């Protein structure tokens, strides 16, 4: 196979592509159907609905009391009650009872007393009522013939009550758009059918489920096809089959780019009209938009983040449009960029960010990783759009962010930057569990130094740090004095942990210690500059008199302990410095090098913040410590202790 680059056939900007696509299908509406009101919650009315019955259906008592003719009470007062014959002049009624013939008002039960009388009981009425007082008048809520709900209204629970009360038992609504999702590619397999480990050359097909659920959130009914082979005929047949079966929208997944095995562009062009091939948005560029027999057909890119962008920008608005609605706008919050974000001019970039309200402003920290990083979608709190006319955003720049969460949720979100440690993930889960989701942690691994500086700049609530003072053997204090001389921060010890050299299981290359890192047959995976682990390794290399330039793979960097362990697992490297827990998690070899303290660096004023108070309670709890110990390679003797700075 000779890979051969074709070019995008019809590259458009995001706005142009949306205009072309939505205007092409402007007049396309999903079919309508009549459904029971009881099943109509969340559905969209086609027409205005008029009441068939009046509510109340008759004049009824609005209270418990006695029905009277108002005129017979006009002289009644607390001291001089009117006396009315029970059953003829004053008739007992409960709330909702029809007003007896001839009566036109009700006196509340508290204002009457029934007294026995030889010629029949009588009521003493101690209050005058005016005509129709305490009466729910026929039609006072709903009058037959009135419009009770406008066209295009989305039915809510209250509306269901009103419709049923008004004698309307069925309503005409737009049918849920029917969507077919066709994953393509010989390499993709449904995850339930894949062996473990996934054999090289096979990829789990997970975008389909994501798209099905996203479409369901837009009110569509979505069917996920089995993956189809990557050839022109099969892809064309699958699309045609979907259109012939009456699906309102067909989505294909993958093969939409311009590579040698990207058959979808040709399939779309041969079946109908290829409206757009390629959109200058990142991620999401290899998006295809087409019309096949009058139906919208969308080629969704194969990378999950690209797929998400493509769905959000094209399919979501379309699905609402098919139902005669406008997609609800995403809530937007004004944020300040916490770290420089580069972008390519000429391409609109959609950057996934985590957010936190720090010191009165909302800070947006970009999540790294390309279009293939599913976890960046999972972790993102919002999407920051960088226009095509701009080349990146600088630290401190203001920018609007579209929320993936609610703005209210931001109040409970703690933004944690700094060093990576597995116990931070444990802590995030424990906090969310203890607060029933009111307090959540969004974190980003920027290394210990990055975390310290973020706290100093007020772009993080707190940081995780384990910076060794090579003169004293202490952690963090001297670094804070040097880099944050004016900051008022507290150090709270989270854990002590064991760092060492992670090797494949059984240590096949017989690495004994840091001195072996210069061996020509040993390749290192390193951590990024500014991380505490990098500083530790450099310190250890220095102690051993080794020049970093002599270490193979020294520039091969990972951002997390798990990344290092994974590099060793996958054979990309023979050894790396990392925590014992990471080695244990992946069942790797571990040669202890140092025991270090890992602290949370918390601005002192925040120690009174109820969220931080709660966090410290959790850290100090036996349950949390037990979870930490279970990871292996940790000590909790000083966990939760506040270190003086």
Residue choice 79, 192, 488, 521 for contact with a copy of itself (CB under 8 A): 192
Our finding on whether 28 is near a copy of itself (CB under 8 A) is no
Our finding on whether 159 is near a copy of itself (CB under 8 A) is yes
User: Least Å distance between CB 12 and a copy of itself?
Assistant: 21
Our finding on whether 471 is near a copy of itself (CB under 8 A) is no
- Binding to a copy of itself, residues 161-190 (CB under 8 A): 161-162, 164-165, 167, 169, 185, 187
Neighbours of 260 (CB within 10 A): 11
Nearest to a copy of itself of 453, 524 (CB atom) = 524
Contacts within 8 Å (CB) and 24+ apart, 507-511: 507/589, 507/591, 509/574, 509/575, 511/574, 511/575, 511/591
CB-count exposure of residue 290 (10 Å: 0-12, 13-18, 19+) = buried
What x/- string results for residues 390 through 409 when contact with a copy of itself is judged by CB under 8 A? ----------------x-x-
Our finding on whether 93 is near a copy of itself (CB under 8 A) is yes
Residue choice 139, 241, 392, 632 for contact with a copy of itself (CB under 8 A): 139
| Sole window of 239-247, 253-261, 355-363, 491-499 interacting with a copy of itself (rule: CB under 8 A) | 253-261
C-alpha distances (whole Å) from 358 to each of 281, 574, 613 are 30, 41, 16
| C-beta separation of 3 from 141 below 8 A | no
| C-beta separation of 344 from 330 below 8 A | no
User: Least Å distance between CB 84 and a copy of itself?
Assistant: 14
| Sole window of 93-101, 340-348, 464-472, 614-622 interacting with a copy of itself (rule: CB under 8 A) | 93-101
Residue choice 11, 85, 204, 594 for contact with a copy of itself (CB under 8 A): 204
Nearest to a copy of itself of 35, 586 (CB atom) = 586
Alpha-carbon span 620 to 600, nearest angstrom? 13
Residue choice 52, 85, 266, 515 for contact with a copy of itself (CB under 8 A): 52
Our finding on whether 351 is near a copy of itself (CB under 8 A) is no
- C-alpha dihedral, 329 to 415 to 284 to 249, nearest 10°: -40
Our finding on whether 459 is near a copy of itself (CB under 8 A) is no
Q: Which two tokens stand for residue 588?
A: 């790797």
- Binding to a copy of itself, residues 208-227 (CB under 8 A): 209-214, 216-217
| C-beta separation of 469 from 491 below 8 A | no
Torsional class of 293: left (φ above 0), alpha (ψ -120 to 50), beta (otherwise): left
- Binding to a copy of itself, residues 65-84 (CB under 8 A): 65-66
According to DSSP, residue 314 is labeled I
Nearest to a copy of itself of 409, 609 (CB atom) = 409
**Using omega within 30 degrees of 0 as the cis cutoff, is the peptide bond preceding 592 cis?**
no
- Binding to a copy of itself, residues 576-595 (CB under 8 A): 585-586
Nearest to a copy of itself of 146, 270 (CB atom) = 146
Nearest to a copy of itself of 159, 349 (CB atom) = 159
Our finding on whether 23 is near a copy of itself (CB under 8 A) is no
Residue choice 342, 372, 473, 605 for contact with a copy of itself (CB under 8 A): 372
Query: 434: helix, coil or strand?
Result: helix
Neighbours of 529 (CB within 10 A): 12
What is the Cα 313 distance to its own chain's centre?
A: 16
Residue choice 88, 117, 156, 346 for contact with a copy of itself (CB under 8 A): 156
Residue choice 17, 30, 37, 452 for contact with a copy of itself (CB under 8 A): 37
**Please, which residues bridge with residue 277 across strands?**
10, 288
Nearest to a copy of itself of 208, 640 (CB atom) = 208
Which residue has 């930057």 as its token pair?
A: 417
Q: Which two tokens stand for residue 386?
A: 């960088």
Find the distance separating the first CA and the last CA of the chain, reported in whole Å.
63
Our finding on whether 143 is near a copy of itself (CB under 8 A) is yes
Q: Which two tokens stand for residue 2?
A: 């000779």
**Please, which residues bridge with residue 382 across strands?**
353, 403
Residue choice 109, 333, 399, 518 for contact with a copy of itself (CB under 8 A): 109
Nearest to a copy of itself of 227, 302 (CB atom) = 302
- Binding to a copy of itself, residues 288-317 (CB under 8 A): 302, 304, 308
| Sole window of 12-20, 135-143, 171-179, 633-641 interacting with a copy of itself (rule: CB under 8 A) | 135-143
Give φ, ψ of 393 to 5 degrees.
-120, 140
Residue choice 18, 54, 72, 264 for contact with a copy of itself (CB under 8 A): 54
Residue choice 570, 610, 622, 644 for contact with a copy of itself (CB under 8 A): 570
- How many residues touch a copy of itself under the rule CB under 8 A: the total is 139
Alpha-carbon span 149 to 320, nearest angstrom? 20
Our finding on whether 197 is near a copy of itself (CB under 8 A) is yes
∠ CA 287-290-296, rounded to 5°: 105
- Binding to a copy of itself, residues 403-442 (CB under 8 A): 406, 408, 422, 425-426, 428-430, 432-433, 435-438, 440
User: Least Å distance between CB 184 and a copy of itself?
Assistant: 12
Give φ, ψ of 544 to 5 degrees.
-85, 0
| Sole window of 272-280, 489-497, 503-511, 555-563 interacting with a copy of itself (rule: CB under 8 A) | 555-563
CB-count exposure of residue 209 (10 Å: 0-12, 13-18, 19+) = middle
Alpha-carbon span 178 to 38, nearest angstrom? 22
Sheet holding 112-115, edge to edge: 82-85, 122-125, 112-115
């Amino acid at each position: 196979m000779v890979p051969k680059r074709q070019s995008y056939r019809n590259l458009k900007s995001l706005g142009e592509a949306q205009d072309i696509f939505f205007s092409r299908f402007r007049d396309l509406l999903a079919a309508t159907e009549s459904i029971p009101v009881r099943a109509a919650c969340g559905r969209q009315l086609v027409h205005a609905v008029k009441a068939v019955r009046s509510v109340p259906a008759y004049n009824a008592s609005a209270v418990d009391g006695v029905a009277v003719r108002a005129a017979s009470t006009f002289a009644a007062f607390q001291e001089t009650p009117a006396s009315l014959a029970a059953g003829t002049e004053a008739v007992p009624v409960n709330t909702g009872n029809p007003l007896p013939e001839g009566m036109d008002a009700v006196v509340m039960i508290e204002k009457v007393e029934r007294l026995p009388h030889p010629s029949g009981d009588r009521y003493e009425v101690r209050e005058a009522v005016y005509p129709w007082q305490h009466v729910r008048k026929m039609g006072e809520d709903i009058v037959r013939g009135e419009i009770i709900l406008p066209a295009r209204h989305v039915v809510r629970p209250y509306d269901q009550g009103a419709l049923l009360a008004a004698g309307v038992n069925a309503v005409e609504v737009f049918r849920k758009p029917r969507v077919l999702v066709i994953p393509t590619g010989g390499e993709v397999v449904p995850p339930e059918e894949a062996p473990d480990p996934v054999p090289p050359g096979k990829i789990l097909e997970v975008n389909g489920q994501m798209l099905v659920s996203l479409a369901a959130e837009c009110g569509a009914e979505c069917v996920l096809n089995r993956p189809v082979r990557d050839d022109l005929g099969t892809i064309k047949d699958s699309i045609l089959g979907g259109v012939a079966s009456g699906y309102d929208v067909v989505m294909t997944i993958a093969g939409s780019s311009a590579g040698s095995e990207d058959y979808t562009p040709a399939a779309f062009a041969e079946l109908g009209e290829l409206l757009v091939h390629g959109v200058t948005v990142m991620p999401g560029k290899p998006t295809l938009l087409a019309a096949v027999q009058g139906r919208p057909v969308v080629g969704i890119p194969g990378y999950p983040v690209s797929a998400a962008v493509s769905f959000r920008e094209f399919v979501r608005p379309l699905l609402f449009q098919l139902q005669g609605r406008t997609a609800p706008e995403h809530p937007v919050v004004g944020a300040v960029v916490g770290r420089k974000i580069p972008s390519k001019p000429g391409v609109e970039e959609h950057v996934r960010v985590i957010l936190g309200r720090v010191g009165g402003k909302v800070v947006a920290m970009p999540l790294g990783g390309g279009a293939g990083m599913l976890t960046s979608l999972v972790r993102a709190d919002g999407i920051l759009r960088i226009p095509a006319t701009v080349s990146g955003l600088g630290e401190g720049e203001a920018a609007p962010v579209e929320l993936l969460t609610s703005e209210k949720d931001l109040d409970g979100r703690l933004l944690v930057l700094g060093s990576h440690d597995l116990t931070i993930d444990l802590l995030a889960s424990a906090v969310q569990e203890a607060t029933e989701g009111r307090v959540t942690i969004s974190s980003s691994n920027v290394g210990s130094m990055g975390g310290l500086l973020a706290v100093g700049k007020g772009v993080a609530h707190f940081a995780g740090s384990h910076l060794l003072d090579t003169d004293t053997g202490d952690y963090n204090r001297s670094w804070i004095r040097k880099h944050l001389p004016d900051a008022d921060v507290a150090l709270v010890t989270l854990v002590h942990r064991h760092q060492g050299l992670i090797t494949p299981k059984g240590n096949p290359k017989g690495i004994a210690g840091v001195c072996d890192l210069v061996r020509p047959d040993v390749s290192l995976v390193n951590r990024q500059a500014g991380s505490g682990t990098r500083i530790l390794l450099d310190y250890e290399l220095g102690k051993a008199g080794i020049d970093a330039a002599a270490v193979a793979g020294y520039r091969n960097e990972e951002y997390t302990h798990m990344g290092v362990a994974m590099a060793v697992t996958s054979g990309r490297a023979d050894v790396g410095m990392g925590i014992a827990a990471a080695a244990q998690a992946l069942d790797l070899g571990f040669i202890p090098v140092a025991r270090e303290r890992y602290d949370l660096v918390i601005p002192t004023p925040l120690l009174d913040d109820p969220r931080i108070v709660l966090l410290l309670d959790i850290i100090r709890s036996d349950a949390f410590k037990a979870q930490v110990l279970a990871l292996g390679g940790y000590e909790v003797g000083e966990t939760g202790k506040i270190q003086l700075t």
